[in-house]
Structure 1
């Protein structure tokens, strides 16, 4: 931990004991966990994140400092439904800070936090959701299916709105300043740059896409994790799957509503979650005039090729979500959207 002068000092003896017992094991599983911004010479404090988006924000904010940021969620896994093993608990215990999405969203993170508190482990807790104004769950969703602690019945996916995401950047910034006070100037400068030059630009570019659209309805062949996009830019997100699992067969009522939407708005292309079942999208194509589905993601996980390209929130917005919204809103044909080869790569992706 850092002392009041910003110097890096030793951790609790409990964590030292965990390191002795689990260090070899952790080194063996490091490749199975998520990404890290560490370099071979890093010996400063470590912050671990329970969710990809906030790992990405934190590594941008910590750039040029001694702080190492690690993503706990393995590549290819969705940050919400994933259940970690015991080694992740060790990882958090050994960390100097734990970035989490607030109570109620990731039960496994809540359990880890409770254990930290019960055992008096001094891992610093950084709640990225602090002070964020949440909207009500979409009417199609059951409040019992997904809650956020004391704000039961609220939609937790706030980070899809770049404006609200800026509040999480502020929360991370304050946490990292507390973690490494001597590097406060760099941390705050990075955060302000990221908000003004990245998130504000993403917000403006999303706004341009939705302003250009004649249609104000997006048909999703997935669960509705995208309501904040709709709220921010004045578009209605209509999920085919009205529960949060987005797996298995679609109910007749869901299919009927989707068929009516597709016919009413002359929809030819729909959006489907990258980390969700393909079956609902395929079923929708079989039973309507929809020609193809294209990818969207709530930034909850990453594919191996995205890690290889060092993609973060910004790159996923521009290479995955924005091209798809251009297509499903009817602004562009698939061949006109995204980088070269995008339509061929992502049409009816597997």
Structure 2
């Protein structure tokens, strides 16, 4: 089934639901500014000294969106940033809660990933857009530049859909950085120079990241550059670094993998002598474990990656994988270290000295 089709909820109905939910929050919680549970409160941060009425209220849906907005608004006063999704959350399946909707209803701007990654939000976005809230898809500049990968979701009679995982090519993320910085500058013209300086400095870091990752991943012999994962989130990654992708599920995680999907993956891994399969942090390992068991039943030799890959969500806030740069670097290290552990002769690339973050020593101890 194609999980990216919006439900049959009309915009008017969605707005009615929005109002009803907000009414219930006001009655039961004493208003939309009442204290949220700690899990939500820890994901909301107030920047600068702007008062409650003058702050530019921004809501970020995914972990990647929240990370980028935090970077671009550093040293920018009067911005209230609320991050909806936390580490390990699957945005394909995530449904906005009452508190999420309350935060979005108060927002001046909502920044989301786009290309139907947050498919459960579509009706709410449309309702808020009609009320004058700025709704911005981070995928917009990538789409406009023509760098979106089309995919086929076989569940809808072969209907075409766009792969939403554009951020796995750092060159795409640079386009996203620039597009989001331009939007913020238009909203906060008095801080335009600060925002654009943040964007320039961050872009330089992303360029270093791309070159480092390319060097490492290209060191793997071409015939062995296969990445087999739970769901099809890494096509952009493969295109960026010259790897071939294979996944048990399609671009969404809504539908469970069937027996045929498992068998097809087993055949593919055996035929191509792929030594490692990878689990993703936001998806249960069941399907990958089923493939590994089936391969071993046939006498094959395959192992699981030395750690999970970050797919649709980043790691815990404050951890190395809790930033975009750390997330992508962690994935590259995990892939290379896993292939080394499987006997492939690879030399890990040296981390650039100009990078503002360092790789934790614990990640270099993978045996």
TM-score class, shorter-chain normalisation, is 0.7 to 0.9
Contact (CA 8 Å) 1:267, 1:328: kept in 2 or not? no
Give TM-score scaled by structure 1 length.
Answer: 0.78
* Equivalent of 1:160 in 127, 145, 168: 168
How is 1:126-145 mapped onto 2 (pairs within 5 angstroms)?
A: 126-132=136-142, 133=146, 134-137=148-151, 141-142=153-154, 144=156
Alpha-carbon distance, 1:53 to partner: 0.8
Contact (CA 8 Å) 1:105, 1:156: kept in 2 or not? yes
Give the corresponding residue for 2:70: 59
**1:23 to 2:32 alignment:** yes
Give the corresponding residue for 1:315: 326
**1:106 to 2:118 alignment:** yes
The 3-state SS of whatever aligns with 2:81 is strand
CA separation of 1:108 and 1:290: change in aligned 2, threshold 3 A: same
Q: Within 1, Cα distance between the matches of 2:157 and 2:302?
A: 29
Q: Within 2, Cα distance between the matches of 1:33 and 1:74?
A: 11
**1:232 to 2:232 alignment:** no
Q: Within 2, Cα distance between the matches of 1:176 and 1:30?
A: 28
CA separation of 1:22 and 1:115: change in aligned 2, threshold 3 A: farther
CA separation of 1:223 and 1:136: change in aligned 2, threshold 3 A: same
Post-superposition CA distance 1:79-100 (Å, at most 9, x none): 2210011221110121221102
**1:194 to 2:208 alignment:** no
* Runs of 5+ consecutive residues of structure 1 not aligned to the other structure: 1-13
How is 1:12-91 mapped onto 2 (pairs within 5 angstroms)?
A: 22-25=31-34, 27-29=35-37, 31-32=39-40, 35-39=43-47, 41=49, 43=51, 44-66=55-77, 67-91=79-103
RMSD of aligned alpha carbons? 3.4
Count residues with an aligned counterpart: 317
Alpha-carbon distance, 1:326 to partner: 0.6
Runs of 4+ deviating beyond 6 Å? 16-20, 331-334
Alpha-carbon distance, 1:78 to partner: 1.7
Q: Within 1, Cα distance between the matches of 2:158 and 2:333?
A: 29
Give TM-score scaled by structure 2 length.
Answer: 0.75
Q: Within 2, Cα distance between the matches of 1:185 and 1:248?
A: 47
Give the corresponding residue for 1:10: none
Q: Within 1, Cα distance between the matches of 2:317 and 2:98?
A: 24
Give the corresponding residue for 2:3: none
Give the corresponding residue for 1:254: 261
* Runs of 5+ consecutive residues of structure 2 not aligned to the other structure: 1-18, 296-300, 349-358
Contact (CA 8 Å) 1:219, 1:237: kept in 2 or not? yes
Give the corresponding residue for 1:5: none
Alpha-carbon distance, 1:284 to partner: 2.0
Give the corresponding residue for 1:3: none
* Equivalent of 1:272 in 255, 279, 283: 279
Give the corresponding residue for 2:310: 297
* Equivalent of 1:185 in 178, 193, 218: 193
Contact (CA 8 Å) 1:49, 1:70: kept in 2 or not? yes
